[in-house]
Amino acid sequence: MQLSTRNRLPGTITEVVKGEAAAKVTLQVGDNHLVALITRESADELGLEAGKQATALVKATDVMILTDGGDVA
């Protein structure tokens, strides 16, 4: 499969919390944790579970950062 997404973060799933409609997936990427909210249906279809290797693909037009001063950059 070929994708245009350039921001690929391979890691290991550490937690999957499934609700009625959505699933919160936590991925350990190096020293960092990445948390994604996806549909429960997608999590089920992909067979996501702790310990499984996965790659987060990030395609966004912007990223916001909040500092202690409350300013958004």
Q: How do beta strands 7-18 and 53-58 pair?
A: antiparallel
pTM of the model: 0.80
pLDDT value of residue 62: 80
Q: Which residue has the higher pLDDT, 60 or 9?
A: 9
Q: How far apart are CA 40 and CA 21, in angstroms?
A: 5
What kind of fold does domain 7-58 have according to CATH? OB fold (Dihydrolipoamide Acetyltransferase, E2P) (2.40.50)
* Residue whose pair of structure tokens reads 């990427």 in the numeric block: 29
3-class DSSP state for residue 66?
strand
User: What Rg, from alpha-carbon coordinates, does the chain have?
Assistant: 14
Model pLDDT for residues 24-61, shown as the tens digit of each residue: 999 999 999 999 999 999 999 999 999 999 999 988 77
